[in-house]
A and B are shown apart, each in its own frame.
Chain A
Amino acid sequence: MVPRTNILGKRVGKIDPGSLPAYVASGGFLALRKALTLQPEEIVHEIMAAHLIGRGGAAFSAGFKWAAVRRETARPKYVVCNADESEPGTFKDRYLLEGDPFRIVEAMAISAYAVGANRGFLYVRGEYPLAYKRLAHAVAESRRAGYLGLNLWNTEFCFDIEIYRGAGAYVCGEETALFESIEGRRGQPRLKPPFPTTNGLFGQPTLINNVETLANVPDIVLNGGQWYRTLGPLTNPGPKLYAVSGHVRKPGVYEATMDLTLQELIYELAGGIPGGRRVQAVLVGGAAGTFLRPDQLDVALGFDTLRTIGATLGSGAVMVLDDSVDLWNVLRRVTRFFQHESCGKCFPCQLGTQRQAEIVTRLAAGNVHPGDGAALTDIGLTMRDASICGLGQMASSALLSAFSQFSLLPREDEL
């Protein structure tokens, strides 16, 4: 049976996302209210017990991060919601932001209480105007009704949220680039360490989490970490959103636990491949992801299960390519994307993404030179090992995985 869940998306499309009363009537703000009766450490403990894994792409333990920020003694501390979602093929955060914006407000407030912050920043992608409008409305309404502001429920806790809009730069989803952007500078990543938990936004201890990560928080607070661990596989518990696109009958966002297989996602949830065609390849994790072959569809879409076959779940984007597609046209777009989005701060990525795109564009036009494969591998591994941030480190991932999964390049002796 397909392990679908209806936790993260339970309000999406069901209630008016602009209505605070509708949110409250469907159990909204109960979790924040409960959280304020607990000690902050107890909440961090529940997040830790839930084994909540970050959904922004890096798959880092949320509890570990919350505990680290909690421990910091410097003041002020900040919480940041990363809603810059720009990984090609990814639209699951938009689904939550547009469909249940109050949940993100509530989750940010809980996270702030848990780590000892009083100010939150929400950085939403510039190309998401509707999400921005709904978030701005949700923040304003929450403030007006006393769910944000001073001494919530007559406790000591004060919290408010400021919204920033991105301005069209993929790299600003990288956490330290996002801080730079809020601080009014070019969105170029910082060298790490120091990490955001000690030196984040405005140099202060900062908790930064992805939209979907935060969306898990209210239910964990209400039902406990132990409950959460019963959902799906023990190592990768909890609901996950998958954004399915490309050649499927019903593209969209699907929610399931992480024992869901790729086969089930494509054929049972997304309706299969249109036009009687067959799967040629599946790109999992977006432009920074990896290609899978049609004989690998029985893999479960968890962080660890994908790792065992050399792939990553990344942002949870699943793009299906049928057997009519010229893969080179897709690879050309992947490499063009990184060429365009490299911030230029470090040379392996700045130069590598350009050379990579040039060679792939030439190959896509059918013009193969001897040594192309070796050159692309060399560029790719150099970027992976020597770039400052994840953009450069992952810029060759899809391309190199395509080379190892499919025989795309002619043998050198045939040239």
Chain B
Amino acid sequence: MTETTETFTYDYPAIEAIVTRHEAKGRAGLLPCLQEIQAFTGWLTPDICQLVGRRLDVPLADIYGVIDFYTLLYREPVGKTIIRVCDDMACYLNGSEEVLSSFKKWLGIGPGETTPDGKYTLEVHPCLGYCDLAPMAMMGDDVHGHLTPDKVADLLEVK
């Protein structure tokens, strides 16, 4: 069976396979299992949470508790690419406020929001650990450093 969330298509066999790989570890398999599934699906739907809970023997309430504790796990739909703009001290000292404004301007959304086409979710993050590249942002797994408003426009291909 194939289901479509707002931005992702996933099939149960692939998810079942991930769960099966982590099942033997029980609860210690929970975090990697959720992370791997989310890498496929973008976010963790209620039916995914139920499946994981049943197979890893973790109460559903605990699964929701774990997901909500961690910034990088999502229980709501997100865009295909999550943009994480660092606005912590080192990036601020090097102009992160301007960088953040240009992301907002070009995407037409604020932090925590997703573009209507489902392509991007914008987030403002505490220090991401790339202060030598300040000001910086991550787009998915890709790190982009020494950002300027111009470079942001290039990254988003809006020019």
**A interface residues, Cβ below 8 angstroms from B:** 85-91, 94, 125-130, 164-170, 181-187, 202, 243-247, 251-253, 283, 287, 317, 319, 321, 325, 329-330, 333-334, 336-337, 340-341, 343
Contact = CB atoms under 8 A, between A and B. Distances in A.
A87 B127 CA distance: 8
Given A89-B90, A165-B32, A251-B132, A186 B65 contact: yes
Contact of A243 (B70, B92, B131, B141): B131
Interface in B54-113: 56, 58, 62, 65-66, 69-73, 84, 87-90, 92-94
Interface residues of B, number: 38
B66 A333 contact: no
Interface in B119-139: 125-132, 134, 138
A253 B28 CA distance: 34
B71 A169 contact: yes
B30 interface: yes
A168 B72 contact: yes
A323 to B, nearest CB: 12
23 contacts: A89-B127, A89-B131, A91-B130, A91-B132, A126-B35, A127-B84, A127-B128, A165-B35, A166-B72, A168-B73, A169-B69, A182-B28, A182-B31, A184-B30, A185-B27, A243-B132, A245-B131, A245-B134, A246-B90, A319-B90, A334-B89, A336-B126, A340-B126
A243 B141 CA distance: 22
B31 A167 contact: yes
Nearest to B72: A168
Interface of B: 26-32, 35, 56, 58, 62, 65-66, 69-73, 84, 87-90, 92-94, 125-132, 134, 138, 141, 143
Contacts of A325: 93
Nearest to A334: B89
A187 B31 CA distance: 11
Contacts, number: 128
Given A127-B72, A167-B73, 6 more contacts: A88-B88, A127-B128, A165-B31, A184-B56, A251-B132, A283-B89
Ordered nearest first, which 4 A-B pairs have the shortest CB separation? A168-B71, A184-B30, A245-B131, A167-B70
A245 B138 CA distance: 18
Contact of A86 (B35, B90, B129, B132): B129
A246 B89 contact: yes
Contacts of A244: 132
A185 B66 contact: yes
A167 B72 contact: yes
Given A88-B127, A164-B31, A245-B90, A252 B69 contact: no
B21 to A, nearest CB: 13
A91 B92 contact: no
Contacts of B73: 167-168
